[in-house]
Structure 1
Amino acid sequence: MTKTVIITGGSKGIGRSLTEGFAAAGYKVVVGARNDSGISEVDPDNIRFVQCDVQNEADHRRLLDAAMDWTGQLDVYINNAGFSAWRPISDIDGEFFDDMMAVNLKGAFFGCKIASEGLRKGGVIINISSLAGKRGTANNSMYVATKFGMNGMTQALAKELGPRGIRINALCPVLVRTPGLMEALAVEGSPAKGDPEAFLAGFAARDAALGFLPEGEDVAAMAVFLASEQARAISGQCINVDSGVLPG
């Protein structure tokens, strides 16, 4: 039986890899994002785009309605939309604080809320978190706070939704090369110090046990597994996709 997945922020970066991975696995994919970025053209029969802003609870409901109108069911909901930005605490103002909390944490929270209304027994929620949800780094306090919050929310909802047969897990990738990451690394205050390419190469060699950093396809493969029946006993976990960076 064909399954249906909703993926927020699924038109670019890690989200695009998730969309392509689930479509390849035979899912009908509803992509919610601000911009299409050509994602519908990847597989027009199995991918549908719905414009949305994850900060708005009503937009998550629109995604659920789109899935139900298309296939009559929802099996998986992936909260992927988010952004990273390094900024020292002295430069963090109310606008920056509110924007990051609204997209990274509020957006995921309302995704979980609406998903919990549409998912049946056996349904799955996956939150795309970060290794930053497990350890703090300099000039990254706001992003770290949102991802620690996402991981805690995942654990709490696993207990709340588990009795209904709904599983929820988080994935915690380390630095995955995407346009968004490269843009974030290019700003003053990031650990790249003006040279993102050299930073990523050095980080992989120094901190990754495997000597390389994961790609979006690696995150997608783990998400497809977590959505499958083979992962039926896995819930409330925040799973690293980090090439062995943590522990370390």
Structure 2
Amino acid sequence: MLLDKRVDGLIICSARLDDERLLRVIAPHRAVVLINRAAAKRHAATIEVDYCAGVEAVVTQLSALDRMRLGFAAGPAALQGGRKRREGIEAALARHGLSPLLRSALHAGPPGWRRDRRKAAARGCSGRYHDLLQRPGRARPDEAARTGRHQGARGEMALVGWDDIPASDLVSPALTTLRIAKQGLGEMAMRMLLDRIAGRNAQQGIVIEPDPIWRATTPAV
């Protein structure tokens, strides 16, 4: 459809296609910008997120607070972002001599899976992460996929999310998160696309680092 409309360029965000299929899709277009995905400069300009730098800052801070029992929940394996977050946190933990107590993944499902997940979260219980809170004593993570306050979890858990969605500062306790300046990211992508449309390929790739936003779910920060 885009080819039929003879669009001047494409901005593609977090494509789930494998590299071969993605390159085949974008090949007919003369100007392409990929967000959250790598590609050779002859194929597209790119904006990538340095997940390693973001999670390194979080792991460093948590370890300084003596939070040594860590678990994490990554995104679907089909998402480049989810995979890179998982790789980033595993690398950061290894540098600090730590290993994750629990790995979990949130997989996309049939239509309505996001709505069902939100309903589960509203009840204070997400089935995928329920076992994080059921582990006894020192087997339970300090940093988990949710605080468990409605489950009556003993002790205190630290919690760090990603993307600083609007609800992060509205829930109680407010959620510590890693923020990506999406407005600025969108503006950069549009400038890069306009440059490529005009034949000015001065900026081929940008790497941005997320900013940690410390809130109440990481006490004592």
TM-score interval for Structure 1 and Structure 2 normalised by the shorter chain: 0.3 to 0.5
TM-score normalised by length of structure 1:
0.33
Which of structures 1 and 2 has the bigger CA Rg? 2
Structure 1 or 2: larger helix share?
A: 1
TM-score normalised by length of structure 2:
0.36
